[in-house]
Amino acid sequence: MAAAEAAETQLMLGVGLIEKDTNGDTLWVWCYPSTTAELRDMLLRKCCLTDENQQLHTFVYGQYRRSWFYVTTTEVPDSSVLQKVTHFSIVLTAKDFNPEKYAAFTRILCRMYLKHGSPVKMMESYIAVLTKGICQSEENGSFLSKDFDARKAYLAGSIKDVVSQFGMETVILYTALMLKKRIVVYHPRIEAVQEFTRTLPALVWHRQDWSILHSYVHLNTDELEALKICTGYIAGFVDPEVSNRPDLYDVFVNLADSEITVSQPAKEAMTMGKLHKEIGQLIVQSAEDPEKSDSQVIKDISLKTREILTNLASFAEVSDDGEKPKLSFEALKQKRFPPATENFLCHLAAAEQMLKI
C-alpha cells in the first residue's frame, strides 16, 4: 500500500450506533472499538435524538478534545427490518476535518443498517475503509477515501457569503483570527452555525489550521473545560444563553442578527486603525467582484497577510542563540507607525511567536 494511502486510512478512530426506539428511549447500542462513557455522553448530546421537540438534523459535526465527530441521523421507514426503532444515528470519530468525506461514508453505513438491521455489515465496511481506504457494495454505493481531498474541505465554505453578511466588519473577524483570539458564533440553527464557522479559518489561510474550529459546542461543563484549554478558537453554539458567557469569547458573533461584538477585555488588542481599514476594503472589494471565485478571494486576503507578515519579519533581529529572529517592542516603536497599527503588529508578533519578551 502506498504510504499516502496508509496515512489516509489511519485517520478514523471509531464508529458507533445510537438508536431511538418505539418507546421514545435513546440508547447507545454498539460501537467499535470501545469508547469512553464521557465520549458516549457527548455524542448522545450531539445526535439530536435525545431532544424531544427537536427537528431532525441529518448531519452534524464538531470537535472534542482533538478528535472530530461526524453524526448522520436517519428516520426508519415502516418497511425496514428495524421493527422497534424509529430513528438512528451513525457516529464516526476521526483525526481529520473532512465533513463531506464522512457524510458520504456515514450515509453508506446508514443504508447498510437499514437493509440488514445488524451492525456486522457496517463493521466490515468500516474495517475495509480503515485498512484499504475503500468499501464497495452494489446496492449501497461505494466509497473511496482518496476522493476527498483535505484542501477541498478547507475551501468548501463561502468567504463571499461571510462578507456579503458582514461587509467591512469582516475585518474584525480577520483581526481576531490573526491574533488567535476566541470567537463564539451563535445561531439557533446548527446548519447555519456549521456553514459559517467552517469558513472562518480560511481568512488566515497561511496557517491552514482547522483545529481551531469547534463548530458544535453545548454549554456543558466537560465541553467548556475542553474548549477553555485552547488558546484561540472558533466555537459554534445554538443556545442563546451563550451570549451571557463573556468568559468564553473575545469576539461574539450573533449570526441571526448579523451583529459582531468585541468583549471589553479584548478591545485594546482589537483597536482598529488605518491598516485595518485598508485590509477591510481589500476584503470587501475582492469579495464583491463577481468575476472572482471564493478561492481567489482567499488568495487575495492571503497575499495581503503575507505582505504584513513579511514586513513584520523584516523588523525582527536575529538572536545569538540561533533561534528564529525575534521582534523587540523598541524596534517596532522606532518605525513610528500610527498607534493602532503599532498595537496590532505588536499583538500579531506575539501571536506568531515572534515577540521578544
pLDDT tens figures, 297-340 = 999 999 999 999 999 999 888 776 667 778 888 888 888 999 99
Quote the CA–CA distance of 187 and 256 in Å, as a whole number. 5
What mean pLDDT do residues 236-258 have? 97
When pLDDT is averaged across residues 215-222 and rounded to a whole number, the result is 96
**10 Å Cβ neighbour count for 230?**
16
pLDDT for residue 1: 41
> Domains in the chain, please, with CATH?
3-152 (3.30.450), 153-266 (3.40.50.11500), 291-351 (no CATH)
Looking at residue 320, its pLDDT comes to 67
Lowest model confidence (mean pLDDT) among 9-13, 15-19, 229-233, 321-325: 321-325
> What residues are paired with 32 via a beta bridge?
15
Q: Which residue is associated with the grid cell 459582531?
A: 260
Euclidean distance between CA atoms 306 and 309, whole angstroms: 5
Q: How far is CA 307 from the centre of its chain?
A: 26
The per-residue pLDDT for 136 is 84
For residue 78, pLDDT over 70 is answered with yes
Does the pLDDT value for residue 7 go beyond 70?
no
First-last CA distance in the chain: 48
Residue type, 54: Q
Q: In terms of Cα–Cα distance, which of 200, 119, 209 is closest to 156?
A: 200
Tell me the percentage of the chain whose pLDDT exceeds 70.
96
Distance CA 233, CA 227 (A): 8
User: Whole-angstrom Cα distance, residue 82 to residue 106?
Assistant: 18
Q: Which secondary structure element, helix H or strand E, spans residue 261, and what is its range?
A: strand 259-262
CA distance 292 to 268: 34
Question: Region 32-44: what's the mean pLDDT?
Answer: 92
* Residues 98-144 pLDDT 10s: 999 999 999 999 999 999 999 998 999 999 999 999 988 767 778 99
**For residue 328, which phi and psi values (nearest 5 degrees)?**
-95, 150
pLDDT at position 4 over 50: no
* 186 φ/ψ angles, rounded to the nearest 5 degrees: -120, 135
Q: Which of 35-39, 119-123, 198-202 is modeled with the greatest confidence?
A: 198-202
Where are the extended beta strands (E) located within 25-181?
26-32, 59-64, 67-75, 85-94, 134-135, 143-144
SS (H, E, C) 133-165: CEECCCCCCCEEHHHCCHHHHHCCCCHHHHHHH
Contact 329, 317 (CB under 8 A): no
Residue 101 has a pLDDT of: 96
pLDDT at 322: 66
Helix (H, G, I), strand (E, B) or coil at 313: helix
CB 301 within 8 Å of CB 282: yes
d(CA 50, CA 65): 22
- What pLDDT sits at residue 44? 92
Q: Over the chain, what is the mean pLDDT? A: 92
Instruction: Report the C-alpha gap between 197 and 188 in whole angstroms.
Output: 14
Q: Are 285 and 162 in contact (CB under 8 A)?
A: no
CB within 8 Å of 166: residues ≥ 6 apart:
173, 258, 260
| One-letter identity of residue 82 | L
Q: What percent of the chain has pLDDT over 90?
A: 77
CB atoms within 10 A of CB 137: 16
Tell me the β-bridge partners of 253: 185, 260
44-83 per-residue burial string, b: 16 or more CB within 10 A, e: under 16: bebbbbeeeeeeebbbbbbbbeeebbbbbbbebeeeeebe
